[in-house]
Amino acid sequence: ETGVTQTPRHLVMGMTNKKSLKCEQHLGHNAMYWYKQSAKKPLELMFVYNFKEQTENNSVPSRFSPECPNSSHLFLHLHTLQPEDSALYLCASSFTGVDSGNTIYFGEGSWLTVV
Amino acid sequence: GQQLNQSPQSMFIQEGEDVSMNCTSSSIFNTWLWYKQDPGEGPVLLIALYKAGELTSNGRLTAQFGITRKDSFLNISASIPSDVGIYFCASRGFAGGTSYGKLTFGQGTILTVHP
């Protein structure tokens, strides 16, 4: 139990479907992240939110739409995805600031399969 | 962008053997983190290093922050079957640099332990 909870753990969706991934952190952190993990590739940072504001978008296609209603919740809305978007999507959270102790903690991930 | 070279990519060892893996970069970092990811789960933080030369242990795990700030290693002593998984290094740049605040991940080392 890392304090970061993701749902659903597994999702299969068609290319025309609309679905959402949800993340909730119970650590009092003020930054939240979405990462994508594909086979044989390093973890890819997708989005960063600090205090509910998006501070980073790493050239992610618009078919992925994040939403951060507050510092504890983060969503990833999915629509018209492609099969190559199938991957493990990891949510993470951390404190922000200039201190070195800004370790990030990951959720268990949501396995997404696009058919 | 920043790149971490993690090696080896995979290891097959016998239970009881010691394991060593490392990460190197051409850039200087101020934080090194080591994560383990069990199959089907999100990465879990093992050890965090914040000072050059720092040597930190967590049970059978030992990690060091290289004196040049460009590398780090992780050792696992007397491996057991539950050590199986993917080990990731991650690092964060200095304040004022373009990579500050961004966590860069290595490609991962896949560890298999034979009983």
Q: Quick: pLDDT tens for A53-88.
A: 888 888 899 999 999 999 999 999 999 999 999 999
Q: Do B42 and A42 touch (CB under 8 A)?
A: no
**pLDDT grade for A100, boundaries at 50, 70 and 90:** very low
Measured in angstroms, the CA of A110 and the nearest CA of chain B are apart by 9
Separation of alpha carbons A102 and A109, rounded Å:
20
Cβ-contact A35, A93 below 8 angstroms:
no
CA distance B71 to chain A (A): 17
pLDDT at A98: 45
Which of the four pLDDT bands, split at 50, 70 and 90, describes residue A101?
Answer: low
Say what the pLDDT of residue A42 is: 79
For residues B48 and B22, give the distance between their C-alpha atoms in angstroms, rounded to a whole number: 14
Buried b (16+ CB within 10 A) or exposed e, B60-92: ebbbbbbeebbbbbbebeebeeebebbbbbbbb
Residues 71 through 110 of chain A touching chain B, CB cutoff 8 Å? 90, 92, 96, 98, 100-109
Of A42, A92, A104, which is closest to B107 when you measure between CB atoms?
A42
Q: What is the pLDDT of residues A28-41, one digit of tens each?
A: 999 999 999 998 77
| The residue to which tokens 């990811």 are assigned | B37
For β-strands A53-57 and A87-94, DSSP reports them as unpaired
- B41 → closest Cβ in A45, A98, A108: A108
Residue B100's closest chain A neighbor by CA? Answer: A98
Rounded to whole angstroms, how far apart are CA atoms A63 and A47?
A: 13
Report how far Cα B43 is from the mean position of its chain's Cα atoms.
12
Take residue A54 and report the two structure tokens written for it: 């998006």
Among candidate residues B48, B46, B50, the one with its CA nearest the CA of residue B29:
B50
* Share of residues in chain A with pLDDT > 70 (%): 94
Verify whether the Cβ–Cβ distance A103 to B43 is below 8 Å: no
pLDDT digit of tens for each residue in chain B (115 aa)? 567 899 999 999 999 999 999 999 988 888 899 999 998 889 999 999 989 999 999 999 999 999 998 999 999 999 999 999 999 999 876 655 554 556 788 999 999 999 8
CB atoms B48 and A103 under 8 Å: yes
Please list, in sequence order, all residues whose beta carbon lies within 8 angstroms of the beta carbon of residue A33, skipping any fewer than 6 positions away: A45, A46, A47, A48, A49, A91, A92, A93, A94, A104
The more confident residue out of A44 and A21 is A21
Contact between A87 and A36 (Cβ < 8 Å): yes
Determine contact, residues B106/B89, Cβ cutoff 8 Å.
yes
How far is residue A90's CA from residue B104's CA, in Å, rounded to a whole number? 15
| B108 contacts: CB under 8 Å, gap ≥ 6 | A42, B6, B9, B37, B86, B87, B88
